[in-house]
Structure 1
Amino acid sequence: MNQEVIVTCALTGAGDTVGRSPHVPVTPEQIAASAVEAANAGAAVVHIHVRNIETGGPSREVALYAEVVRRIKDSGVDVVINLTAGMGGDLVIDQEDPLKPIDGTDLVNANDRLPHVEELLPDICTLDCGSLNFGEGSQLYISTPDMLRIGAKRIQELGVKPELEIFDTGHLWFASKMVEEGLIDAPPLFQLCMGIPYGAPAEPNLLQAMVQLLPAGAQWASFAIGRNQMPWVAQSVLLGGHVRVGLEDNLYLGKGVKATNGQLVERAVGIVEDLGATIATPDRARELLKLKAAAHV
């Protein structure tokens, strides 16, 4: 069991959730305010996507990331910044002409997924460690070994800690290989992502097996989506890990009750403390993860 737990709040994500809850933040002001709310509730880390202000859809616009980060810092609230670097991996296949990408495709190379990381130098950025059939239909998430090695090397050069996003067991295999190759500085940070169709299902025995495959000395967290979010807080802590909650992964506090990010963090903090563990502060999270000092905006 983990006795000192880092809580991450994934604030908004890139999914089609804006119309399903009034609490999903869209604008930089809303995302930053939600980050402050989560931090005040006990989150040491906030995981940030940005959205198109007009449509609510996903965005890779650097200026939006910069505004979110600036607003969080201007608030005076201390929290570790974790920016997604997973955008730019979407490929939607036309069944009549499989070589012709169609609406929804946003596929760029490894370094073109990192301009906001290069400009803002966050504490952490994500690295999605493999390709995946993403849900029903014909959408793929593309992250090849070559892309990953290039991205990992650039992130390492920037002095940013990569959070290795693991959606299936093969992703864990390859991420561990990058650790062996010296592309990931110690301690490696893994995020075990469970229940996303069609990656690793949210099964406790599978989580345990994946934890047993982690490299020695790794720091790790896990999460599951939807109704499994809070049970997975307990699963993670009992197996020795950290936790992630937030509106990216789950919109509900209970049956029919829409949650805010702050409420989800409060619920997770309560579960962790009921298990007898303590909540890591942002400074303690920096120590545990050995985050490098970077020149922030």
Structure 2
Amino acid sequence: MSAQRTALDGGRWHLNHGPIDIVAEAHGDAAEVAAAHEHAWQRFRTILDELVGELPLLRQPVGAECALRGPIAQRMWRACAPFSAGFITPMAAVAGAVAQELIGCFDRPGIERAWLNNGGDIALHLAPGHSVRIGLFADLARFDPRDTGPLTTDGQFEIDAAMPVRGVATSGWRGRSFSLGIADSVTVLAATAAEADAAATVIANAVNVDDPGIHRLPANECKDDSDLGDLLVTRDVQTLAPAQVRRALDAGVACAQALQRVGLVWSVVLVCQGQWRMVQPLSSQGKTLPSQGTPTGAGGAVGSVFA
């Protein structure tokens, strides 16, 4: 199947090619916005084949040196390299790295702000003085695609141009990719979308505890070409004792704080079975606390960018 694009309301575009599914929006000078969307579309058409060409290497654990050639593949590797002491492949950052590649098309005079949402992993462009509000939908279990009414978010936070954040990503065991942990969702704000994607994967894996109510299978039994091989991935989590959930979240918070201390993340929201934690930014600049409601449930992704 070839790459497809569809115009959406509000001047947005939907780009799809195989597993890559993106919604793009930009604001600013109309001619510049149109030119940026066209540039992003032309780049998008080449991405899947570019990644498939290096897929065997992308599924290998990150090592001491990068043998990848393409700019997106190399970005994936660089985002995952800080975590190479454990098991991680560049695929942990694929969605964020793709979004980050395309947001570069909007970094041009006349574009005030733009966002690329790749299945919940978001790359941002913000000109000085501009900001976006991002909605957090933390409970995929309660999402009903038949509901055509307004989406009620679990929380919202604002990112302005002065903040060192241009990427937002979410990971968890209910999401599109496999997870080693039991987080329903871990949402990371970081300098880039690729870095946010890799960090969200690692922190979500760390939200974990031993409990007979957690059911796991080897990844290659769930998907025969999984880059995780025979690592055990979470397939179901029964209702756990609140103390167990707290222990799992404590482990995730400790991981998030360690990454924050070395500058790999800016802020993190962790959600598991109705409990949630917020790792606040070390700097007081900007406001990232959810401003509408609180995360109440499980396993979602960062969704829409609001005005």
Same fold (TM over 0.5): no
Per the shorter chain, which TM-score range?
Answer: under 0.3
Of structures 1 and 2, the one scoring higher in RCO (CA 8 A, sep 6+) is 1
Task: Answer 1 or 2: which has greater strand percent.
Answer: 2
What TM-score do you get using the length of structure 1 for normalisation? 0.25
What TM-score do you get using the length of structure 2 for normalisation? 0.25
Instruction: Report which of the two structures shows the higher radius of gyration computed on alpha carbons.
Output: 2
